[in-house]
Structure 1
Amino acid sequence: MISFIVPAHNEARLIGPTLEALHTAALAAGRRYELIVVDDASDDDTARIAAAAGARVVPVEYRHIAATRNAGARAAAGDTLVFVDADTLVPVGTLRDALDALDGGAAGGGARLQLHGRLRWVQRVVLRFVTWLLRIARIAPGCFVFCTAAAYAASGGFDERYYAGEDVAFSRALARHGRFVVLRAPVSSSARKLRTHSLLDHLRLLAHFARRRRGLLRSRQGLDLWYGERRHEPDHD
């Protein structure tokens, strides 16, 4: 059985299409599945929308993405775990490729990242470079990570020392316990962070990381890109 684990904080606007896409992909794959939405301290309609879409809602109060993902894994009954961000659409073909990789002996993996919504040409060039770099380094973008439940347990799950970058640490941990693949097939995630945070915001984050390295990732302080007030563009996502 596949357990889809969707961490969510105030995602009422985007989580509906994400869950609908997962239903569609799982049904096309012909596998039993469950949807688990880990509602992390939302104060909007995230939980209600998730429940109406057939998901089991696990409420937590962490505001810590690694801990939230791990809470979903603890609640999961499947032998295959698929972690999907609440703003990410998983196509039928991508899920099939992920399941084929696991059936072929892989411990886990990720997919090629696409961003939906308007982007400037410079952002598209940077995205292509980052996507290539992640594939070469065999690191899964955190919006879509899959693994066997056995590999998850052997790796220790997401490292809760980190408030960001936990996807990088998890990818490397899985690779120590088996073959880790980054599929050529894509998932499509929202580009809202690029559009609603300025270039200065991103440069400031890079400067802080250059100065503090991993220390920056060990608290929410300075990580407003992930933990600041949710920003939306009502007309374009």
Structure 2
Amino acid sequence: MFISIIIPTYNEAEHIANLILQLQKNNSKDYEILVVDAGSLDDTQNIAKKSGVQVLESPVKGRSKQMNFAAKHSKGDVLYFVHADTLPPLSFFEDIKQSIAEGFQIGCFRFKFNSDKTMLKLNSYFTRFDRLMCRGGDQSLFITRKLFDELNGYCEQHKVMEDYDIIIRARKKYAFKIIPKNVLVSARKYDYNSYLKVNIANLTAFMMFYAKADHDRIIKVYKKLLNHEKSELKY
């Protein structure tokens, strides 16, 4: 098994080095790391290149489009999509390999925030449950190339919440694995907004997505509910 780790970025200089270092600590050599950047205005690309990973410049901006672009340029028979502000467990390779051996073609990890705040621990607790509302791109996502191709990748019409869409489509035919280990997720949006405001915004965005609302409308409402600085739905 060979895993292609795909990291979509836009202005992630603050986080990208830590993520790459975390991934490179794994002892397996059967993986590649691809950073697919959408024209960052900061030092994201230079930092990634100095870390020795492959950097792709996406011709279009948008996470779903960037990830599809990187998938086409990757060589793994398993794809692992990770957000730049997420740190997978050191055992990520073995955990994914074991899940594939168990017959799963798609899955994610649980998550916990890099914060000791009690209410954020509550949010983290719910990611162990197999419910769509408890999912999200921050948990990272592994998927076999076979299934990814069968689904025609991420739907590029989705400007946000593309992870929910691909999970919904995959689960129509295949079981979904929640690996009982945590990725560490940045709590940065809570630095600019209250716990209540963030969760109301998240729930509103999810309900609008489930109701098939226009994606631009979801983004507009989400941004209106939160302080804009580092708290918006990611490009």
Question: Which band: TM-score by shorter chain?
Answer: 0.7 to 0.9
Corresponding residue SS for 1:159: coil
Instruction: Tell me by how many angstroms 1:190 deviates.
Output: 0.7
8 Å CA contact 2:201–2:222 kept in 1: the answer is no
Output aligned runs, 1:146-225, within 5 Å: 146-198=142-194, 199-200=196-197, 202-204=199-201, 206-207=203-204, 210=207, 213-218=211-216, 220-224=219-223
Structure 2 distance, partners of 1:211, 1:171, is 17
Output aligned runs, 1:105-184, within 5 Å: 105-119=103-117, 121-129=118-126, 131-133=127-129, 135-137=130-132, 140-143=135-138, 144-184=140-180
Q: Mean alpha-carbon deviation: is it higher for 189-198 or for 149-158?
A: 189-198
Give the 3 Å change call, closer, same or farther, for CA 207–178 of structure 1 in structure 2: closer
In structure 1, what residue type is equivalent to 2:179? L
Q: Which residue of 2 aligns with 1:8?
A: 9
In structure 2, what residue type is equivalent to 1:157? G
TM-score by length of 2: 0.83
Corresponding residue SS for 2:25: helix
Deviations 1:37-63 (A, max 9, x none): 011121000000111111111112544
Instruction: Tell me by how many angstroms 1:169 deviates.
Output: 1.3
Where does the alignment leave 5 or more consecutive residues of structure 1 unmatched? 232-237
Instruction: Tell me by how many angstroms 1:136 deviates.
Output: 4.1
Structure 1 distance, partners of 2:135, 2:205, is 23
Corresponding residue SS for 1:194: helix
8 Å CA contact 2:188–2:230 kept in 1: the answer is no
Structure 2 distance, partners of 1:209, 1:2, is 30
C-alpha RMSD of matched pairs (Å): 2.7
8 Å CA contact 2:204–2:222 kept in 1: the answer is no
TM-score by length of 1: 0.82
Give the 3 Å change call, closer, same or farther, for CA 188–94 of structure 1 in structure 2: same
Structure 2 distance, partners of 1:204, 1:114, is 19
* Equivalent residue in structure 2 for 1:71, among 55, 69, 72: 69
Instruction: Tell me by how many angstroms 1:68 deviates.
Output: 1.7
Kindly, what percent of the aligned residue pairs are identical?
A: 26
Structure 2 distance, partners of 1:157, 1:84, is 15
Where does the alignment leave 5 or more consecutive residues of structure 2 unmatched? none
